[in-house]
Amino acid sequence: MNPSGNGYDIYDLYDLGEFDQKGSRSTKWGSKTELQSLACSARNLGIGICWDAVLNHKAGADYTERFSAVKVDPKDRSVEIFAAREIEGWVGFSFPGRGGIYSSMKYSWHHFSGVDWDEARKKNAIYRVASKRWSDDVAHEKGNYDYLMFADLDYSNLEVQKDVLRWGEWIGSQLPLWGMRLDASKHYSADFQKKFVNHVRATVGPQIFFVAEYWSGDVRVLMHYLQKMDYQLSLFDAPLVGRFSRISRTGEDLREIFDDTLVGNKPAHAITLVMNHDTQPGQSLEAPIASFFKPLAYALILLRDKGQPCIFYGDLYGIRRGVKNPMTPSCGGKLPVLARARKLYAYGEQCDYFDQANCIGVHPSSIHGAGS
């Protein structure tokens, strides 16, 4: 919605920077034509494009509608604070700038389960549409964590399901995608997510890679979600990030660093990482990692055979503009060397040496003995 935003205030899934909507045609990063050119160039260089799919909500409605809603406790969304009454919410989406191209679907209050603003009273709160229930197959934090922000999509509505499934097929026809990241996956129906993954693989290609951003420090929650999804995707290893942060600051036993992590339990479905855009300094899930420990943490995800490592842009290149907490490249600028070492030498049998509380080691080799 915001032309200078990062896309999480999503307005129109079908507009990749093509239509004059919400005060701009291009997105923060450019036009649809430029995006397609980038994707094709990346493919020619052997780089896969992973689309960040924001499917939980919509923002920037074109008009308000009146409907009956109940106010719920923000700390426990299963608790109603007052009985149903009429509110005025921003839930009308007609996408006039697109004019029905690609999809004729128009959204109204029937397609949402909740909002966080009553325009009539100019009041901010969490309101559940009175005739709706929160989804059951979401995270259980805050009583029920279906509602996250803006106008929350209701995936029990078949029209919503049909439109988003159609979009999954459409985006694959517009860009040569390698994979998709499901944003905020703990906030909307896991049953629909499974249907979406299966539909995209059936219509775009069975090779499409999926990773869900289900951020929980409890590995049991992540494993339950994976089971619910029939192990059809991977997850970011949030418990591992938490352990890196804690051990770097407290000096706990290094031999336990992979205990109660996803990579320690389901390595084939673990995306291992040290930091991301949400855990960097100043962000909502900040997980500070002592600078001396970052090279060790990256070595543990890049030079071991378990999990699929993901390097944070800020650690690789630094972040200097437009942020309150600028970063310089981590690991003394040697992170590319670690990545190259993985590419060239991380093959063969792995030997772990987790013998001492303050000193652990690992090496790969094609035969027993010292590694390369």
Please give the pLDDT value at position 321. 76
Among 112-116, 354-358, 362-366, whose mean pLDDT is lowest?
A: 362-366
Query: Quick one: pLDDT band at residue 365, thresholds 50, 70, 90?
Result: low
Q: Give catalytic residue positions.
A: 183, 213
Q: Which of 159-173, 231-245, 350-364 is least confident?
A: 350-364
Q: So what's the pLDDT on residue 222?
A: 99
pLDDT at 372 over 70: no
Among left, alpha and beta (phi > 0; psi -120 to 50; other), residue 185 is: alpha
pLDDT of amino acid 368: 53
Does residue 370 surpass a pLDDT of 80? no
Indicate whether 369 pLDDT > 60.
no
Please report the pLDDT score of residue 134 as a whole number: 98
Amino acid 229: pLDDT: 98
Number of other residues whose CB lies within 10 A of the CB of residue 30? 13
Flag whether pLDDT at 27 surpasses 80.
yes
Domains, the chain, in order of start with CATH, read: 32-56+159-347 (3.20.20.80), 58-153 (2.40.30.140)
Q: What is the rounded average pLDDT of the residues 345-370?
A: 80
Alpha-carbon distances of 280 from 214, 284, 317, 347, rounded to whole Å: 17, 9, 14, 31
**Per-residue model confidence (pLDDT) at position 367:** 54
Q: pTM of the full predicted structure?
A: 0.94
Q: Among 6-15, 95-104, 318-327, which is the least confidently predicted range?
A: 318-327
Does the pLDDT value for residue 33 go beyond 60? yes
How far from 335 is each of 43, 184, 301, 341, 371, CA to CA, in Å?
Answer: 24, 28, 12, 10, 20
